[in-house]
Chains A and B, each alone.
Chain A
Amino acid sequence: MRIEIEHLYKSFSNSKVVLEDINFCDEVTSLSVVGPSGGGKSTLLRIIGGLLSPTSGSVTVDGTKLVQDERHLIQYRREIGFVFQQGGLFHHMTGRENIIRPLVSVHGYSEKDAADRADELLTRFGLADDGHKLPAALSGGQRQRIAIARAVAPNPKLLLLDEPTSALDPEYTTEVLNMVSELSSTGIRFIIVTHEMGFARKACDKVAFLQGGNVVEYGVSQEVFSSPATPQFRQFLGKMFEWS
């Protein structure tokens, strides 16, 4: 999938500039976005996901430019899966209903097909016994895995994950990242914002390092991580691995 970003700016009403002239053009299969907090990672992911409109600039996906009005964005979002850092599952629905409802109401599945699809995904990811529970009764890791299952259920053309493990205890981080990696191996394209450097390096083809609203460094993960070209990324990695 080809993603093209041109002269993308985003500032919020408090006039803080979050993204400053982002330019990007590449095929995306598995991309990690890393960088310090406040660097604009989540904002960029939301713009790519059609959840947020840029102040100026454009995003083009597979040759089609994103039109920034609600009617077009709804259509676009339906082809994208999005996973939030936390609290993305609907609180009042069981995990299973969380998967079924959008399939039926948005993607036109019959109730039965949607239920079959939900059960198939829950079973595949070891969640068969947890589907009937409300999110509040699930562990953080189970919640995130169901959120991912909900996002991939309608076979989106791109999966976007916004720090899916940042709110989790370390023991749950692995099970969530394993699931992303497994999905990736079955051909799902994804962009992940993450602080898990090991995952960014080993499970993602490409990495973008975002700092101060700019893409400071971009390239093939294996190369960029072993020999960072910029002092900023080197310094960032130094901090990330200080205690590991």
Chain B
Amino acid sequence: MSLASSGSLISRNEGQDNMNLFIEKEGKKAAPLIAALNIVIVCAAIIAFFWVSLAIIDLKFDFSFLPKYRNWILNGFKTSLGISLLSLVLSLLIGILSAVGTSSRILALRYFCRGYITVIRGTPLMTQIYLFYYIIGTAWGIESRFISGALILSIFEGAYISEIIRGSYLSIDETQLEAARAVGFNRRQTLRFVILPQMVARTVPALAGQFASIIKDSSLLSIIAVVELSQSFKEISTSTFHLFESYFTLGAIYLCLTLPISFISKRLERRFYYEN
């Protein structure tokens, strides 16, 4: 019995050795060269798929019109980045306030915050843009599309950030809070020395990810004619009739913005990883 099982173990190991160009061994990290090989294979397969698809419908791309529109693109880029940065700050503020508000002892405030988070997270951003821009914005005379765009985006993203913050507060170990009381910290000291540092560690990586969402979601502001990146490309595509080329370039630019952010987010996650 034992002989038979050890025999099969050996042959299984041999099998793994033959396969190890493509399969990661348990508990071992793949060698960089092997990883690179697999990445190349995946990329080649994807490119081939699209290449063939293009060939079937006989579509050819022409990106030569792009340099002519570089000022449009640059301006759109600046607007998108500006709105996103402003929204990041505002939505963080809204997120913190509403997260604190959901556990407020003032009942009206608590229910307002809970209602805000539920409704905003449960409805499409497009609906909110129409509501806040054309009705609320018009009624209260907010003229600037940039400002109202950033505000609407902040209200939208704030609800998600609020949940991130609430989640990271709830994930703090009960014993940590009890230990804070045991060493004699008062409420302010507990917040400052225990709760905030632990929350920052859990929130910052998720916030970086949320910033990537803000950048992508800002493209919807084109429906109220904020001339950000998407709107610039919409205009470029209608004046050049290069629809696909315009939107693929747009996608590539968004990737250039969001990839570094998700990279940073991963790095932060590792940096703040102090448990277990």
Q: Do residues B183 and A92 form an inter-chain contact, with CB atoms below 8 A?
A: no
Q: Do residues B185 and A84 form an inter-chain contact, with CB atoms below 8 A?
A: no
Our pick among A80, A92, A102, A151 for the contact of B201 (Cβ within 8 Å) is A92
A: interface residue count bin: 20 to 34
Our pick among A84, A92, A105, A134 for the contact of B175 (Cβ within 8 Å) is A84
Residues on B with beta carbons closer than 8 Å to the beta carbon of A101: 183, 193
Our pick among B173, B176, B183, B274 for the contact of A102 (Cβ within 8 Å) is B183
Residues on A with beta carbons closer than 8 Å to the beta carbon of B180: 90
Chain B, residues 180-209, CB within 8 Å of chain A (1/0): the string is: 111111100100011001100100000000
Total residue contacts A-B, CB cutoff 8 A: 63
Which A residue sits closest to B175, measured CB to CB? A87
Give A82 to B185 CA distance when docked, in angstroms: 13
Q: How far is the CB of B253 from chain A (nearest CB, A)?
A: 38
Looking at chain B's contact residues, the main secondary structure is helix
Known: A87-B175, A91-B176, A91-B198. Contact between A105 and B274, CB under 8 A? no
Chain A, residues 35-56, CB within 8 Å of chain B (1/0): the string is: 0000000000000010100000
Looking at chain A's contact residues, the main secondary structure is loop
Residues on B with beta carbons closer than 8 Å to the beta carbon of A88: 175, 178-179, 182
Q: How far is the CB of A210 from chain B (nearest CB, A)?
A: 21
Residues on A with beta carbons closer than 8 Å to the beta carbon of B182: 49, 51, 77, 80, 82, 84, 88, 151
Please tell me if A74 contacts chain B, counting CB pairs below 8 Å.
Answer: yes
Our pick among A74, A92, A106, A151 for the contact of B274 (Cβ within 8 Å) is A92
Q: Do residues A102 and B175 form an inter-chain contact, with CB atoms below 8 A?
A: no
Give A74 to B188 CA distance when docked, in angstroms: 12
Q: Do residues B275 and A91 form an inter-chain contact, with CB atoms below 8 A?
A: yes
Please tell me if A189 contacts chain B, counting CB pairs below 8 Å.
Answer: no
Known: A101-B193, A136-B274, A136-B276. Contact between A89 and B186, CB under 8 A? no
Known: A102-B183, A134-B274. Contact between A87 and B197, CB under 8 A? no
Please tell me if A78 contacts chain B, counting CB pairs below 8 Å.
Answer: yes
Give A90 to B184 CA distance when docked, in angstroms: 13
Please tell me if A150 contacts chain B, counting CB pairs below 8 Å.
Answer: yes
Q: Do residues B184 and A106 form an inter-chain contact, with CB atoms below 8 A?
A: yes
Q: Do residues B275 and A102 form an inter-chain contact, with CB atoms below 8 A?
A: no
Give A235 to B198 CA distance when docked, in angstroms: 46
Residues on A with beta carbons closer than 8 Å to the beta carbon of B193: 90, 101, 105
Q: Do residues B185 and A91 form an inter-chain contact, with CB atoms below 8 A?
A: no
Chain B 202-238 interface residues, beta-carbon cutoff 8 Å to A: none
Known: A84-B175, A90-B176, A101-B193. Contact between A51 and B275, CB under 8 A? no
Give A234 to B203 CA distance when docked, in angstroms: 53
Residues on A with beta carbons closer than 8 Å to the beta carbon of B274: 91-92, 134, 136
Residues on B with beta carbons closer than 8 Å to the beta carbon of A151: 182
Give A38 to B185 CA distance when docked, in angstroms: 29
Chain A, residues 135-159, CB within 8 Å of chain B (1/0): the string is: 0100000000000001100000000
Not counting A51-B178, A77-B183, A102-B184, a sample of 16 additional A-B residue pairs whose C-beta atoms are within 8 angstroms of each other reads: A74-B181, A74-B186, A77-B181, A77-B182, A82-B179, A82-B182, A87-B175, A88-B179, A90-B180, A91-B173, A91-B198, A91-B275, A92-B201, A105-B189, A106-B183, A107-B184
13 of the cross-chain contacts (CB-CB < 8 Å) are A74-B184, A74-B186, A77-B182, A77-B183, A77-B184, A88-B175, A88-B182, A91-B275, A101-B183, A102-B185, A106-B184, A106-B189, A134-B274
